[in-house]
A and B are shown apart, each in its own frame.
Chain A
């Protein structure tokens, strides 16, 4: 059965801390792994990863994929209160199926 598992489920840190969010997966015919940030309504796109070992970076956020060990991490450095959100990992297969993990709820305290 295809599945995506994120850890931790929730995390509380203080501003300036660095956090690492994890996503492991088992999906038939893997095509890509995506990270999203969800604050209130619909998730917003952060990264799409298709190749192992190539880091994607956007400001204080970065992500990398390991297709051998079937996981990805999302790093956020120098966290700010505006980073507080639910972070979702999703994996897409070649059949078009797109499965999400449970999400990690991040709270950044001032």
Chain B
């Protein structure tokens, strides 16, 4: 069966500290992978998407970055967090054939 794991589930980090959120997909190959952020009242904002290993498209200029070191692994990082980075982060995947999107459990990030 196909599953997606995202961690950590919650994170409290001081301003200026680094960030690493990780997402892995099981049971499928060559998925499209996405990172979204959901700030209160603002819906799901697309941050990055990837259609293959090492292929990252950035949608919003910011101090975050993404990497895809393996086919089913997607990592969201920051070298120095800002207060405005606080929010709910969701990893997701779809198949290139246009199937529905599947979400990870989400990560609550609070920058203090």
Contacts of B88 in A (CB 8 A): 41
Q: What is the size category of the interface that chain B forms with chain A? A: 20 to 34
Q: Mark B52-82, 1 if CB is under 8 A from A, else 0.
A: 0000010100000000000000000000000
Partner among B34, B98, B104 whose Cβ is within 8 Å of the Cβ of A42: B104
Contacts of A103 in B (CB 8 A): 43-44
- Report yes or no: A95 in contact with B43, Cβ–Cβ below 8 A: no
- Report yes or no: B94 in contact with A42, Cβ–Cβ below 8 A: no
Residue B105 CB within 8 A of the other chain: yes
Q: What is the size category of the interface that chain A forms with chain B? A: 20 to 34
Given A32-B98, A90-B101: A42 and B90 interface contact (C-beta under 8 Å): yes
Contacts of A50 in B (CB 8 A): 98
- Report yes or no: B106 in contact with A88, Cβ–Cβ below 8 A: no
Contacts of B51 in A (CB 8 A): 95-96
Question: Chain B: which residue is nearest A32 at the CB level?
Answer: B98
- Report yes or no: A99 in contact with B100, Cβ–Cβ below 8 A: no
- Report yes or no: A98 in contact with B94, Cβ–Cβ below 8 A: yes
Q: Mark B86-112, 1 if CB is under 8 A from A, else 0.
A: 001010101010101111111000000
Q: Mark A78-101, 1 if CB is under 8 A from B, else 0.
A: 000000000010101001111111
Q: Can you show 12 pairs from A to B with CB atoms below 8 A apart?
A: A41-B105, A42-B104, A42-B105, A45-B100, A48-B100, A50-B98, A96-B94, A97-B57, A97-B59, A98-B32, A98-B101, A100-B44
